[in-house]
Structure formats: C-alpha cells, structure tokens
Amino acid sequence: MELIKINHLTVNVAAKKLFEIASLGINSKQKIGLIGNNGVGKTTLMKLIADISNPSEQIKATGSITRLCNWAYVPQLLNAQDKSGGQREKLAISRAIAQLRNAPKALLLLDEPTSNLDFEQQKWLINLIRGLKSSCLIISHDQHFLNQVCDTIWCVKDQRVITFKGTYSEFKRAQEKQAARVQLEYNEQEKHLNQLKASFKRHAKQAGSFSHPKKHISSSDWRSKSLGKVKAANNVARATKNLSRRIEKEAKTLTRPVFRKQITLKNGAAQMKNEAIAPKSKALRLNPQKVVAYHKLLFTIEQEVNLTYQNKLILTGANGVGKSIFLKELFKRKLTGFYHPQLQIGYFTQNIIKLQSDQTVLEAIMKSSIFATSVTMQVLGDLHLWQIRHQKIENLSGGQLVCFNLARILTGKYNLLLLDEPTNFLDLEALAALVDFIAAYPYALIIVSHDRSFIEQLGLPKWMINHQRLSTKVAASKQSSASNDNNLELLKFQRDQLMLNPEASVTKIKQLTAEIEQLQNH
C-alpha cells in the first residue's frame, strides 16, 4: 500500500536546481535510508514530505506530493553535545512513535537520529525500528545503522534520486560495480580515440607528401608527372578531414570518471624530523588522578598513562562518562602529568563558535597548514569546502563552520589531535576521506566517536571509560592480572577450609584444585 506519492517534483533553492523526481513512492512497512553528500537536498526533501516549510529558506518546489498516511518528523538535534543529548534524542523519537501508535497507516521521518546516541542507545534505536510496523524514512551517514534497519536506499546524487532495493552494503557494492563498468567503458573509448589520433597523424603525413615537390624537380614537372596521384591525394585529404571530425566528436563525449585519489600527507613527516621529535618519544604522561567536573567525580585514572607521538587510539564509553571532559582537560593541560616541551595539541569540538574574521576559508587554511598545497587542497575538497574557499569565515553557516574547523585542525601545526565526534556532520564520502587521512597522519590522535563503521574501518586500539575508570590496554591487562591474583587467593582459602572439614565433598575439593591450577598456569 502506497503511503507517499511524489510526481514530477522539481526543487530549486535560490533559483538553482537542487534535484528533480519524476516518480517516487513510499510503501507500507518500508524502511528507507536517505543518503547523499551534504548540501544535495536530503533534509529539504524530508521536510517537503513532512509538509514543513521555512519562510527564511528560498525553496521553490513544483510538482506534487500526495500523503496517504499519518506521519511524525524528528529533525536533527543540533548543538546537543552535552550529557543529555542522547536522552533528548531518545525522548523525541519515543514521542514521535507514540504519536503514530494508533494510526493504521504511519510514516516516521528521522533526520540523523544516531548523531547523539552512544552504542547502547543506538542498539535501542535499531531494535525499536526493526520492531516497528510503521514505514520509516531515515537520513543517516551511519553505515552500520543503515545496514541494520533499512531495506531500501534513496541516494540524492547529480540532482536526482537513485532508488535501490537492498541494504546499504548491497547498494555500495552495486555502485562500485557500476563505477568499474564506467571506468572500463572510458578506457575502451580512450583507446579508440588514441587509435583515431594515430590514424589521423599517418593520413596527415601522407597528405603532406602529395603537396610538396621532390628536390631538383620543378613544380610544373612534378604536377605533370603526378596527375595519376591527384585522385589518391584527394582521397587522403577527405579521409584526414573525416578523421578530424570523428576525433572532435568523440573527444566531446569522452568524460573521465570522477574518483578520489588516495591521500598522501606530504610535508608532515618532514616537519617531525625538523623538530627532532622521535615518533616513539613520549608526547605526554598522565599521573593517576581523579577527573572531576561540576563537583562530580566522572572517572579515575588508576594507572600511569603514556602516549607517544605515533599513538593513535579511540576513546569509547557511554554518553555522560566524561570523554569530552577528558579531551577538553587534556587540551587545556589541566590533567597532572608530563607534557613534552614541543607538544602542540589541536582540539576539535562540535560546539559551534561564530568566528569573526575577514579571512577567506582558503587563506585561513593555507596559512596554518603544515602539509603540501596539493594535500591541503584535497582536504578542502573532501570536506566540501572547495566550492566556498573564497567565502569569508564570518559568513559561513553552522555546518560549514564545523567542516572548516575540522579542516583547520586536521591540517594545522599540531602533533597531537583530539577529535571529539568528528563524523557527525560528515557525509559518507567525507567519512571515507577522513579514514584515509587518519591512516596516513604522521602524529598522535585521540578520537571520540560512536560511529561503529568508522571505528571498524580505522582499526585503532581503544581506551575505555567504564565504571568510573579509564582503562587502557596496559592498564586493563594489569587490572586483569590483579583480579586473577585475588581470585586465586580466594579459591585457595576456600579449598583449605573444605580440607579442614571432615564432611566436605571430595569432588568439590578436586574442582577447586583444578580451578587453582588453571589460574596458576594462566
């Protein structure tokens, strides 16, 4: 049963076409993931379906959207980087579902619902949507989430909406196969064009041989002796002209496929050598201490924590445990410990502060970048800042400002980056580029993220804040060893007590002895 019907829809923003849809629909129980690069019109499309208009937006839409259902819309929760962000998101989604509970035909519209959710809250949302009988249209850049809940993908690209029945991973594989076919076709066309150009050169050379007399022969004698070759000369000239036309025509239709080059961070590694900082030297060492905020204990660093200039890691933990506070305190150097004299910390946070600057995006980034010009330009392109490179920083929108701040921190004169949820405002292409950047980055990084696919792609070691403790791999190993020692002593005590009891079970004593031996051999 069709819930939404879209026909001949064309959407323009400030007299520029955003996208067009010939025919599209949403059916009962369908779970649709709406994806695409930032700025292509995903939220605009969702708002049009939800019949929400904003007078301040210069949006003009022609065509029709027929709504044959009840619907509820949950917008993206922006600037909610506090401990209650996830709870606020859960509450908004729960209210929307309650609003649709008694509707026989219902559609839930969610814009980036996982941005503020930790892993447990994401699991809650995945199970919730899976169990819903309502249809869903969900804007998301979270690949894991899309794979878990969506059976259909809508991709806004090149001013149209591509539809695909299947999971996001299946859609991605189909797109990769299509890209491979396009590349193969391009290679064949390019090969044929080169053959035509080679043939043209041969014909042009042959035509030239007909038009020039040989040495020591007058022009009149040459023409009289070459009358039989005039026809051949004319044929060659016509063939050359035809080849020229074919080459011009095929060259116009030959379009090189767009693909992203793998990033190489030139200059950065050289700067490290210039500063005489060995990669394995300590960037910082944190003493055991309590981390407190607003007169409340968040967690304890129980063991000494070391970070070298080549360490890259993920900091995980539920919302509210203190991850962002930890990065902030580290940036301000308020945590007690040793900080290398040449340590330069770059700190990215989602909190948007409007910058008053006459500088353009390009001027500001180029002034502070430690990398080669080509690399810096590529980062601007990856974060979709290239098209606004000549725009003044003070005129940037909120989303553009977040991407500018991220680009400024990534390319800046730092050797330790603290990145707090850098993926929230990035589309899927920018996310893939960020993974490449981090893999190639020559310095230390600590990243806070709840994006499972992003974390899996990075494959970095993890620190975790759990049960009010910061656990690193080394610390966790020591804690595990200490726990084993405690268990061993307890089991020995229990066995000794049983051996002193004449009524104790021999089987139980043997069982405890086996457990003791197992721990001793561990």
What angle, rounded to 10 degrees, do the helices at 473-500 and 506-520 form?
150
Dig out the tokens for 8 from the structure.
């001949």
Q: What is the full DSSP assignment across 305-353?
A: EEEETT-EEEEE--TTSSHHHHHHHHHTT-SSEEE-TT--EEEE-S---
How many CB atoms are closer than 10 A to CB 86? 24
User: Is 30 within 8 Å of 135 (Cβ atoms)?
Assistant: yes
Q: What is the DSSP letter of 511?
A: H
SS3 content of the chain, % helix, strand, coil (to 5): 45, 25, 30
CATH level 2 (architecture), domain 2-166: 3-Layer(aba) Sandwich (3.40)
User: For position 124, what pLDDT does the model report?
Assistant: 93
pTM greater than 0.85 (yes/no): no
Give residue 399's pLDDT. 73
DSSP category for residue 416: E
- Quick one: CA dihedral 304, 307, 308, 311, positive or negative? positive
Confirm if 350 and 409 have CB atoms less than 8 A apart.
Answer: no
The series of mean pLDDT values per 10 residues for the chain, 522 residues long, is: 94 88 95 91 93 77 94 77 68 92 92 89 94 94 94 95 95 90 86 84 72 58 56 73 83 75 60 58 92 92 92 92 94 95 90 71 91 89 89 80 90 93 86 89 92 91 93 56 58 68 69 72 57
Contacts of 54 (CB under 8 A, 6+ apart): 47
- 178: exposed, middle or buried (Cβ count in 10 Å: 0-12, 13-18, 19+): exposed
315 exposure class (CB count in 10 Å sphere: 0-12, 13-18, 19+): buried
Interval 246-299: pLDDT, tens: 888 888 888 777 666 666 666 655 554 545 566 678 899 999 999 998 889 999
CATH 3.40.50.300 fits 268-471, yes or no: yes
pLDDT at 38: 83
- The first and second tokens of residue 418, run together, are 């603290």
C-alpha to C-alpha distance for 336 and 348, rounded to whole angstroms? 21
User: To the nearest 10°, the Cα dihedral for 183, 185, 187, 193?
Assistant: -140
Confidence at residue 87, expressed as pLDDT on a 0 to 100 scale: 80
Q: Which amino acid is at 301?
A: I
In the numeric block, the tokens 């070298």 are attached to 308
% residues pLDDT > 70 (the chain): 80
Biggest alpha carbon distance in the chain?
135
Give the H/E segment covering residue 159. Answer: none
**CA dihedral (44, 50, 52, 53) positive or negative:** positive
Token code pair at residue 84: 């209650």
Q: Check residue 259 and give its pLDDT.
A: 64
d(CA 430, CA 407): 11
State residue 85's pLDDT score.
67
Hey, where are the domains in the chain?
2-166, 182-253, 268-471, 476-520
Q: What per-residue confidence (pLDDT) applies to 482?
A: 47
**Any idea how long the chain is?**
522
Cβ atoms 3, 100 nearer than 8 A = no
Helix (H, G, I), strand (E, B) or coil at 443: coil
